[in-house]
Amino acid sequence: MRSALAQLRHTPPAGSTRGFNTLGTIKYGLSSAAALVCLVAAVWFEQPLLAALIVPAFYAVEAQFVFLFPLALDETPHLWLHSRQLTVAGGGTLAVMGTVLPLAAVMLFGGLAGRGFVRSWCLGCLAVCIWYEEIRQEMTITNHEATVP
């Protein structure tokens, strides 16, 4: 992601990847916890159809933090808050999920289709970086227009 942002911005790579393991653990831990709640509810209430909510629950939470890593590379303060703000700027949770789910499918299953697991993962990361830059620039323009009388 660091290299992708540098290419997109035509700048030397910047930002540190230090702490990415912690961010990823928290991000995917929260997302997994949401999925686990659905699984436990399905078992507890003996309603197997509730298990169908596992994937949407996971990605509903993940959508809030899809921009976490690019924000960290930009050394943005209040990462979690700003990630949520970008989700809102990206159209909200459902709209972001509509983009994230196909990206996740490519990232997770592209290797099974013979496209290479690492390549598929990197393509998804690149797509997130491009999306991040688009939303960030839109927010900058909107914020600038809001301050101009």
Domain limits, the chain:
2-147
Burial of 101 (0-12, 13-18, 19+ CB in 10 A): middle
pLDDT at site 91? 96
Coil vs helix vs strand at 67: coil
Q: Is a pLDDT exceeding 50 seen at residue 23? A: yes
Supply the pTM of this predicted model. 0.89
Q: How confident is the model at residue 65 (pLDDT cuts 50, 70, 90)?
A: very high
Q: Is a pLDDT exceeding 50 seen at residue 68? A: yes
